[in-house]
Amino acid sequence: MDEKHEDALLTLQHAGIAKTPQRLGVLNIFLAAKTPLSLSTIKKRLAAKVRFDKVTLYRILSLFKNLGIIREVTSRNGVNYFEIATKDNPVHPHFNCLNCGMLTCMEPLTFSQSRQLISPKEDYHVDHIEISITGLCAGCRDATKLQKRKN
Amino acid sequence: MDEKHEDALLTLQHAGIAKTPQRLGVLNIFLAAKTPLSLSTIKKRLAAKVRFDKVTLYRILSLFKNLGIIREVTSRNGVNYFEIATKDNPVHPHFNCLNCGMLTCMEPLTFSQSRQLISPKEDYHVDHIEISITGLCAGCRDATKLQKRKN
DNA sequence: ATACTTATTGCAACTTGGTTGCATTTTTGA
DNA sequence: TCAAAAATGCAACCAAGTTGCAATAAGTAT
Ligand SMILES: [Mn+2]
Ligand SMILES: [Mn+2]
Ligand SMILES: [Zn+2]
Ligand SMILES: [Zn+2]
């Protein structure tokens, strides 16, 4: 039996929701992913596994998000990304390449780092802090250098 | 002559683009705003001033953004917000109330604060760091307390 | 295993946000 | 004031996401 498939089954079982092929498919995609996934990416990968309607995918993502199985990662271009939200994958900053659009996960902040971010005078109840860093990834930066050399 | 109107005129002049009523209208709305504005808010406020088409508004916002007159502020719900990008209004974190959706501007980070956020090993070229904090604003927190007391 | 109940999916229709091409109007600058 | 250039408005279009409901699949008790 597939290792990932087992994890996916357990997750749905623990959440107390039905184990449908579509949900297992989505969950396995997240479990295998190393970066946050856009909706279109999920759609493509899921299509290779199981028959599904776009409405179903929206509902599954919304359900998983509400159950805390996945979390949403906001990005510049308004496209929504998602990633798995397990205990060993706490909230962390993301790097967003302006050129290729790729999102990569960065190391989570330490407690003292995150405390520095909040001005103590602000009397807000903080739920969470999202940090997103934009720039050029290593690949795109090198490509740009080559480009410049050519010109 | 209106003070803000004057600022708006100068901004367009400096950018070297035509001074149309629609652009002046949008600019004055931004100059008067204390928080980032959503598209729908801008639309409403502009409609009270001048006749315009939605296409025009999209084009103006896109133009202003490219010229660096305004900047985009990403938010949780995928709705795009914009704020004026003058020298005395540098990039800064935002607080986003989960209950009422309100976005408020926070103090900009100091250089040492922002440097702490980047793990030195990451070989990315950083363009800018966006910090967005979610939680409950003072008003909504109090309302929640009252709610709880009632129950 | 079967039958019943409940949850989930697929489909179609619709809403909303945003884009494109082009004719009309406005602004600019001579 | 007038011609050239720029910006706007309009209509048509596209894509993303939502809703209601009937068909189907999963859970559950017998
Ligand atoms: Mn991540
Ligand atoms: Mn701000
Ligand atoms: Zn890149
Ligand atoms: Zn609030």
Question: What is the pLDDT, as a whole number, of residue A11?
Answer: 97
Share of chain A above pLDDT 90, in %: 56
Beta-carbon neighbour count of residue B25 at 10 Å?
Answer: 21
Beta-carbon neighbour count of residue B36 at 10 Å?
Answer: 24
What's the predicted TM-score (pTM) here?
0.86
From first to last of the 151 residues of chain B, give the pLDDT tens digit: 456 678 999 999 999 999 999 999 999 999 999 999 999 999 999 999 999 999 999 999 999 999 999 999 988 777 789 999 999 999 999 998 887 778 899 988 887 777 777 766 677 888 888 888 888 888 888 876 555 544 4
Q: Are B94 and B36 in contact (CB under 8 A)?
A: yes
Instruction: Write down all domains in chain B, each with its CATH number in brackets.
Output: 1-86 (1.10.10.10), 90-151 (3.30.1490.190)
**What single-letter DSSP state applies at residue B56?**
H
Indicate the pLDDT class of residue A148, thresholds 50, 70 and 90: low
Percent helix, percent strand, percent coil in chain A, to nearest 5: 45, 20, 35
Residue A135 is encoded by which pair of tokens?
Answer: 């720039």
Burial of B92 (0-12, 13-18, 19+ CB in 10 A): middle
Determine the distance separating the centroid of ligand 2 and the alpha carbon of A106, expressed in angstroms: 25
Tell me which nucleotides of strand D come within 7 A of a protein CB: 6-11, 16-20, 25-27
Cβ separation of B131 and A130 shorter than 8 Å? yes
Contacts of B51 (CB under 8 A, 6+ apart): none
Which residues does residue A73 pair with via DSSP β-bridges, in sequence order?
Answer: A81
CA distances from B141 to A114, A119, B100, B138 (A): 22, 18, 10, 5
Indicate the pLDDT class of residue A3, thresholds 50, 70 and 90: low
Check whether A15 has a pLDDT greater than 90: yes
Contacts of B50 (CB under 8 A, 6+ apart): B21, B22, B25
Please tell me the distance from the alpha carbon of residue A15 to that of residue A122, in angstroms, as a whole number. Answer: 36
Please tell me the distance from the alpha carbon of residue B132 to that of residue A1, in angstroms, as a whole number. Answer: 42
Chain A residues 57-76 with CB within 8 Å of chain B: 72, 74-76
Q: What pLDDT, in 10s, does the model give residues A44-97?
A: 999 999 999 999 999 999 999 999 999 999 887 777 899 999 999 999 999 988
Interface contacts (A, B; CB < 8 Å): 100
